[in-house]
Amino acid sequence: MKSLRIVFAGLLLLTTLYAHAEAEVTAVRLWPAPDNTRLVFELSGAMEHRLFMLRDPERLVIDLKDTRFGKNIGRLEAAGELVGGVRSAPHDGSLRVVLDLKQRVQPKTFTLPPSQGYDYRLVIDLYPEGGDEIATLAAAAERPSGTGKASDLPKAASSPPAKAPAASPARGRDLVVAIDAGHGGEDPGAIGAKGTREKDVVLAIARKLKALVASEPGIKPVMIRDGDYFVSLGNRVRKARTAKADLFISIHADAFLNRSANGSSVYMLSDKGATSEHARFLAQKENDSDLVGGVSLDDKDDLLASVLLDLSQTATKEASSDLAERVLGNLGGLGKLHKSHVERAGFRVLKAPDIPSILVETAFISNHQEERLLKSAQHQQSLANAIFKGITTHLRRYAPPGTLIAQQAALDRNQRGTSDLRLVAAPPAEPEPEPITPQTHLADKDLDPFDEDNPLSAFR
Ligand SMILES: [Zn+2]
């Protein structure tokens, strides 16, 4: 090693103008995701690298020119479905890192300049050959559960024949709710004074919301991120569309220089600029996620470029607005709101033209008290409950035809017809000291089968 260093020193003297100084690897991180595994080298300077595969057994070799490991590099443990082991050694003036692979992979590499507290980064994404998560999601979306066809009916064999009347209509499809936990992997999101990371608390809230959605008949969840890995903003939208999502809920925790800022807020996409300075600031910060999380500059986002044409889709906007209002209303019942109205800004993750999409800033992680709340499982559950309630009340009004929720709503309307008659025809009740119950409240106004105050609604 010593002699190598001397050789390096000599070379450097000769080529100072052209060559980099010896760089240090200051950190190495491995992020296994469902459809890829990401390896990140953080370096004290920009370095040339070389990558090649070896077969039988499968290995990936990475040579980092003029580079050595820094002193504080811990041991990198293999993790995930693709990488079975990691070895390294100096090799021919380079640092050679060998990944022992569990299967054949396709690597994709790119470098990132220093940003947001990171040094230079070399990112190596490994994709299993022939497998990718978007393809898997597409296959899942094609499965019968979403089509509303007769084949979607529960298996006759699993239910008693007596309970399956021949004339009953086909069960409508389930609505798909895409749950998007912000940030992840290289991108921690905002960080609280006590070190709480946005990416962790929003994933915890997202998982609680997923459980609620999964337990509700007629809707099913799709997690856009379900672990500590990064998903680019474009891929978040793409995954939601591939899964044929009917709604898209992005979950975040706000941060602001002023530590007294607090409360929940709900955002939707604006195609005409932001509704406030904070909304503009926040959208910019959230849109920077790709820079921090690591996306190759040559990743062309055709989808996001093309959707601008479709942003005039008023149906999506109207539904997004209703969804945002309902979620905001329920968060308001839980605690303080940062803004009492829905805000709008140019969030890239909300740009699916055909999916009503909102972004929920659950609380300010930069606020001491709210940082503590965000870490509490109980408060995470309350936030998930509030978002869930907003989703279900929205869906009662906006469920598309052919869905189970729409069928139940129609059924409710029919029942309301009879109930109306009953309410009108019923003799006045015995006068009694009556508290204001939902029932008496209802008699005073138009019955709305979707109204959450309506005790006749099956969704209560
Ligand atoms: Zn965020």
Q: Per-residue pLDDT tens for 126-163?
A: 999 876 656 666 666 665 443 333 333 333 333 444 44
Q: Is the pLDDT of residue 435 over 60?
A: no
Span 64-83, mean pLDDT? 84
In this predicted structure, what is the pLDDT of residue 161? Answer: 41
Please give the residue that has the higher pLDDT: either 396 or 20: 396
Is residue 337 scored above 80 in pLDDT?
yes
Average pLDDT (52-60) is: 94
Q: Which pLDDT does position 279 carry in this prediction?
A: 92
pTM: 0.77
Strand partners, 40: 29, 123
Contacts with 437 (C-beta within 8 Å, 6 or more apart), sequence order: none
pLDDT score of 70: 84
CA of 198 to the centre of ligand 1 (A): 7
Q: Looking at residue 142, what is its pLDDT?
A: 66
| Distance from residue 330's CA to the centre of ligand 1 (Å) | 20
Residue 12 is which amino acid? Answer: L
CA 44 to centroid of ligand 1, rounded, Å: 27
Residues of the chain with pLDDT > 90, as a percent, come to 54
**Ligand 1 centroid vs 33 CA: distance in angstroms?**
19
The mean pLDDT value for 254-278 works out to 90
Residue 429 CA to ligand 1 centre (angstroms): 54
Residue 272's CB: how many other CB atoms inside 10 A?
8
Ligand 1 centre to CA of 291 (Å) is 13
**pLDDT at 10 exceeding the cut of 60:** no
Q: Taking residues 230-239, what's their average pLDDT?
A: 93
Instruction: Give me ligand 1 centre to Cα 50, in Å.
Output: 34
Q: Give the distance (Å) from ligand 1 centre to CA of residue 289.
A: 8
Which of 35-39, 53-57, 132-136 has the weakest average pLDDT?
132-136
- Taking only the tens place, the pLDDT of each residue in 275-315 is 999 999 999 999 989 888 888 766 655 555 555 545 557 78
Stated as kind and residue range, the H or E segment containing 31 is strand 23-32
Number of CB atoms found within 10 A of residue 375's CB: 16
**Which tokens hold the place of 271?**
């195609």
The answer on pLDDT for 64 being more than 70 is: yes
Looking at residue 17, its amino acid is L
- Interval 166-193 mean pLDDT: 90
CA distances for 96 relative to 51, 74, 92, angstroms: 10, 16, 9
Whether residue 182 has pLDDT greater than 90: yes
Q: Which regions of 156-216 does DSSP assign to beta strands (E)?
A: 175-181
Query: 184 C-alpha to center of ligand 1: Å?
Result: 10
Do 243 and 175 form a contact (C-beta atoms < 8 A)?
Answer: no
Residue 273 confidence class, pLDDT cut points 50, 70, 90: confident
Q: Where is average pLDDT lowest: 147-156, 161-170, 196-205, 344-353?
A: 147-156
Q: How many angstroms is it from 130 CA to the middle of ligand 1? A: 32
Ligand 1: centre distance to CA 282 (Å):
8
Cα 445 to averaged position of ligand 1 atoms, centre (Å): 42
Element (H, E) at 87: strand 83-91
Distance from the alpha carbon of residue 354 to the mean position of ligand 1, in angstroms: 23
| pLDDT of 116 | 84
Res. 406 pLDDT band, cuts 50 70 90: very high
From the CA of 122, how far away is ligand 1's center (Å)? 24
Which domains does the chain show, CATH number per domain? 2-128 (2.60.40.3500), 133-141+171-398 (3.40.630.40)
The rounded percent of the chain whose pLDDT value lies above 70 is 74
pLDDT (average), residues 194-221: 97
CA of 196 to the centre of ligand 1 (A): 13
Neighbours of 287 (CB within 10 A): 15
Average pLDDT over the chain, rounded to an integer = 80
pLDDT tens per residue, range 97-107: 999 999 999 99
Q: Is 36 exposed, middle or buried (0-12, 13-18, 19+ CB in 10 A)?
A: buried
pLDDT, position 132 = 61
Give the Å distance between the CA of 438 and the centre of ligand 1: 39
Region 308-333: mean pLDDT is 84
Q: Ligand 1 centre from 353 Cα, in Å?
A: 21
Distance 56 CA to ligand 1 centre (A): 43
Q: How far is the CA of 74 from the centre of ligand 1 (A)?
A: 29
Q: Residues 360-381: what's their mean pLDDT?
A: 96
Q: Is the pLDDT of residue 111 over 60?
A: yes
Query: Ligand 1 centre from 366 Cα, in Å?
Result: 12
- What pLDDT is recorded for position 390? 97
**Whole-number Å distance between alpha carbons of 303 and 406:** 30
Q: What is the pLDDT of residue 71?
A: 79
Q: Ligand 1 centre from 255 Cα, in Å? A: 8
Q: How far is the CA of 182 from the centre of ligand 1 (A)?
A: 5
Residue 286 Cα to ligand 1 midpoint, Å, equals: 5
Q: Which two tokens stand for residue 58?
A: 């499968």
